[in-house]
């Protein structure tokens, strides 16, 4: 397993942060980190730069991050694997083995990996349709994700959901209607508070959905009841093919809650995301009410596979982001510069990721298409079905 592979390379570890702006610049000075422990499970203290966060009506989180070498290597492993999985999906789509919508998260890996590293399965996550990475970190297998994309029986939604409708433990999708997951997230947080669960819901949406009325309605209800909900604007600069500056009168998305405190985070830095989500969970579960979090990030590909992504931005812009702000390369540089791992160790993890994803592709391709009767299952909770439901046409009727 990849986690085992990562664990083998944890003989040495330290790290250093990146600033808030999406540029891979970071300090490797000894003053920003404590001496590296010899045990992989021991904690490091890493100080993030002040530019990691921009605040609205709240004090910034403590910039000192405690994290183990094992966690750092796990972050690198997950982001590398996620990138490889999405590259495999890209190839399968171009080979016409994946049809319909397919939204990839290349470039945005730090968002899901940083968030997942800060929470537990008692906490809940709901997002929009760029959901493959979240499905993976919440427990979905690579095979089940790729099989779902190809509409196969072994898909995580049994081949019925595709790219936009994937689910895993404490992960409620994968939602295809723009912005619709935001009020659902508020409802999930209401249930957590009503049941007395000391946990949090992270409800993610894109900058393209940020101007929808239902988002602001959810803000209002969440603040009225001080729900443990973090509304996360995953700002990748473009809503489909429209830049944020062209669609939003204000691009300070973390201030959009008005009466709800906010935080803007460098979403290209996995450690900044990790620390911000730790702080957000502490805030919301302590009874202070909801937060609005903006994660500034960038997608390398188009909105979906049908979008070349170069008609509304230049190739030079994309290449600049790849070369200066890539979340995987940024973490890799830290690990190497500060002795967390060697180049050979990281190459071994990269090689293992490729091997595991390639095997998952073969197994997913070998999975059969679901039986037609499967399309009538999971429509209603078992025992609550009506006498019949119709299919695409009046003549297609399923009787229970």
Q: Give the model's confidence band at 12: pLDDT under 50 very low, under 70 low, under 90 confident, else very high.
A: very low
More confident residue, 240 or 31: 240
Mean residue pLDDT across the chain: 89
* 350 is a domain residue: yes
* 120 is a domain residue: yes
The partner residues of 390 in beta bridges, in order of sequence, read 397
Residue 163 backbone class (left: φ over 0; alpha: ψ -120 to 50; beta: rest):
alpha
Q: What is the mean pLDDT of residues 308-323?
A: 93
Question: Is residue 311 a contact partner of residue 56, using CB atoms and an 8 Å limit?
Answer: no
Phi, psi of 396 (to 5 degrees): -95, 95
* 6 is a domain residue: no
Among the residues of 123-194, which ranges form H helices?
132-137, 142-149, 181-194
Q: Whole-model pTM?
A: 0.89
* 196 is a domain residue: yes
Q: What is the mean pLDDT of residues 251-260?
A: 97
In this structure, is the dihedral angle defined by the CA atoms of residues 381, 382, 388 and 394, taken in order, positive or negative?
Answer: positive
Q: Give the model's confidence band at 27: pLDDT under 50 very low, under 70 low, under 90 confident, else very high.
A: very low
Dist. CA 244–CA 365, nearest whole Å: 38
* 303 is a domain residue: yes
Dist. CA 80–CA 328, nearest whole Å: 7
CB-based contacts of 352, cutoff 8 Å, min separation 6: 2, 5
* 234 is a domain residue: yes
What's the total number of domains in the chain?
A: 1
* CATH number where 149 lies: 3.40.50.970
Q: What is the mean pLDDT of residues 329-349?
A: 92
Residue 195 structural domain: 45-238+251-308+331-396
Dist. CA 212–CA 24, nearest whole Å: 33
* 147 is a domain residue: yes
């Amino acid at each position: 397993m990849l986690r085992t592979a990562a664990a083998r390379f944890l003989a040495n570890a330290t790290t250093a942060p990146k600033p808030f702006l999406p540029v891979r610049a970071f300090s490797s000075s000894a003053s920003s980190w404590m001496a590296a422990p010899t045990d992989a499970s021991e904690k490091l203290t890493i100080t993030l730069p002040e530019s990691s966060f921009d605040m609205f009506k709240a004090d910034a989180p403590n910039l000192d991050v405690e994290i183990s070498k094992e966690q750092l290597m796990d972050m690198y492993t997950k982001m590398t694997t996620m990138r490889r999985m999405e590259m495999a999906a890209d190839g399968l789509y171009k080979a016409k083995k994946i049809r319909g919508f397919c939204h990839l998260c290349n470039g945005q890996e730090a968002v899901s990996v940083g968030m997942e590293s800060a929470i537990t399965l008692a906490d809940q996550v709901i997002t929009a349709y760029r959901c493959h990475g979240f499905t993976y970190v919440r427990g979905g297998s690579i095979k089940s994700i790729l099989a779902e994309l190809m509409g196969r029986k072994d898909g995580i939604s049994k081949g019925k959901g595709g790219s936009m409708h994937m689910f895993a433990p404490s992960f409620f999708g994968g939602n295809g209607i723009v912005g619709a997951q935001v009020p659902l997230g508020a409802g999930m947080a209401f249930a957590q508070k009503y049941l007395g669960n000391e946990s949090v819901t992270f409800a993610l949406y894109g900058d393209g959905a940020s101007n929808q009325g239902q988002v602001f309605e959810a803000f209002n209800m969440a603040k009225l009841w001080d729900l443990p909900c973090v509304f996360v604007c995953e700002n990748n600069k473009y809503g489909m093919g429209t830049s944020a500056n062209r669609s939003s009168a204000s691009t300070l998305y973390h201030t959009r809650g008005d009466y709800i405190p906010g935080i803007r985070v460098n979403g290209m830095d996995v450690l900044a995301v990790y620390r911000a989500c730790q702080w957000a969970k502490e805030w919301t579960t302590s009874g202070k009410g909801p937060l609005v979090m903006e994660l500034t990030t960038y997608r390398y590909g188009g909105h979906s596979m049908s979008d070349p992504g170069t008609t509304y931005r230049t190739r030079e812009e994309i290449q600049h982001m790849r070369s200066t702000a890539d979340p995987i390369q940024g973490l890799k540089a830290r690990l190497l510069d500060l002795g967390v791992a060697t180049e050979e160790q990281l190459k071994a993890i990269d090689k293992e990721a490729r091997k595991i994803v390639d095997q998952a592709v073969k197994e997913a391709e070998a999975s059969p298409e679901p039986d037609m009767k499967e399309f009538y299952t999971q429509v209603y909770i078992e025992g609550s079905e009506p006498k019949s439901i119709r299919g695409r046409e009046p003549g297609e009727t399923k009787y229970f």
